[in-house]
Copies of this chain bind each other. A is one copy, B any other.
């Protein structure tokens, strides 16, 4: 992995990654001249027992790009700088200009309110998967996807080393149906100052399972899915992908190394290579299902970066496409949003069969 660290004119960081050497002499552009002045704050939610972040400037963006402007494409004209330079690189990571988490030096203190408040420490990064605005994560070459897995690992280590950061979540929102307005292939990384509610719950459940059964719940589930085979979408030497027996979305798929590694950084190269194959297989099957790009939310769960060892945690992706049929979205409504109780009108076994039947070529 090759890497070049740069600083943008507005002070934000940009890191370029390459399978081969990064082009020398590249400069970091920015659509913005003035320094970032973020001061998001957290408020305590006393009924749910969790923090909520407020970044009020995010709505009032004054930046009005020309219609065809793509801030994630390489800069072609100095008059219209984007977020990344032209030149030889494969993946770019930069600080989000409108972060929900991350407080600038000298930022205003959080407001005093009727509930506890805190500065919203942390970091929001944007990950540009490729220079090609028409590309897609699933259509990248295997060694390019392998590089992305390394990048996610490196960002997790670097962010997780900061004492204020307790959890690092790489994710991708893909498609207008999940609110994406920028169609250049990219994802995001949120680095939280707390372990957020969903991974906190997972960690607690997994620790209890490990204590009781001697292994984590995902390790146990993977063995059972491998034996059952009914819901498998990919089974390689080191990695498995499946519609989980407990899927909450019709086309939900999990991708995980069979060995219970706690984070990207613990993957051995052959495991990472197989993980790239598994991920590419799933994403190509998604797009092959209805012969069109399938929108999804993909999140990668790892161990918290809270300074403790987490043998109960097992690196994996959960991918949630929002469709329940070719034409119908699955809306999260009363029972899902208000109760947190998911209702499915499709059986995971049937949806797995549909995905199993999609032929893909990894080329």
Contact = CB atoms under 8 A, between A and B. Distances in A.
A179 B331 contact: yes
A205 interface: yes
Contact of A332 (B180, B245, B332): B332
Interface in A321-363: 324-325, 329, 331-335, 337-347, 350
A52 interface: yes
A29 to B, nearest CB: 25
Contact of A205 (B47, B205, B217, B228): B47
Contacts of A346: 54, 56, 59
A188 interface: yes
A221 interface: yes
Contacts of A201: 48-49, 340
Q: How many copies of this chain are found per oligomer?
A: 2
Interface string A61-89: 00000000000000000000000000000
A209 interface: yes
Contacts of A217: 46-47
14 contacts: A46-B220, A48-B201, A52-B248, A52-B341, A52-B342, A54-B345, A100-B335, A178-B331, A180-B333, A196-B340, A197-B339, A297-B333, A299-B339, A332-B332
A342 B178 CA distance: 15
Contacts of A209: 46
Given A48-B198, A179-B333, 8 more contacts: A52-B247, A56-B345, A56-B350, A57-B345, A115-B221, A190-B339, A196-B339, A197-B340
A52 B297 contact: no
Given A46-B220, A217-B47, A320-B337, A246 B52 contact: yes
Interface string A21-55: 00000000000000000000001111111111111
B341 A196 contact: yes
Interface footprint category on A: 35 or more
Interface of A: 43-59, 100-101, 113-115, 167, 169, 171-173, 178-180, 188, 190, 192, 194, 196-199, 201-202, 204-206, 209, 217-218, 220-221, 224-225, 227-228, 245-248, 297, 299, 318, 320, 324-325, 329, 331-335, 337-347, 350
A320 B58 CA distance: 20
B345 A45 contact: no
A245 B190 contact: no
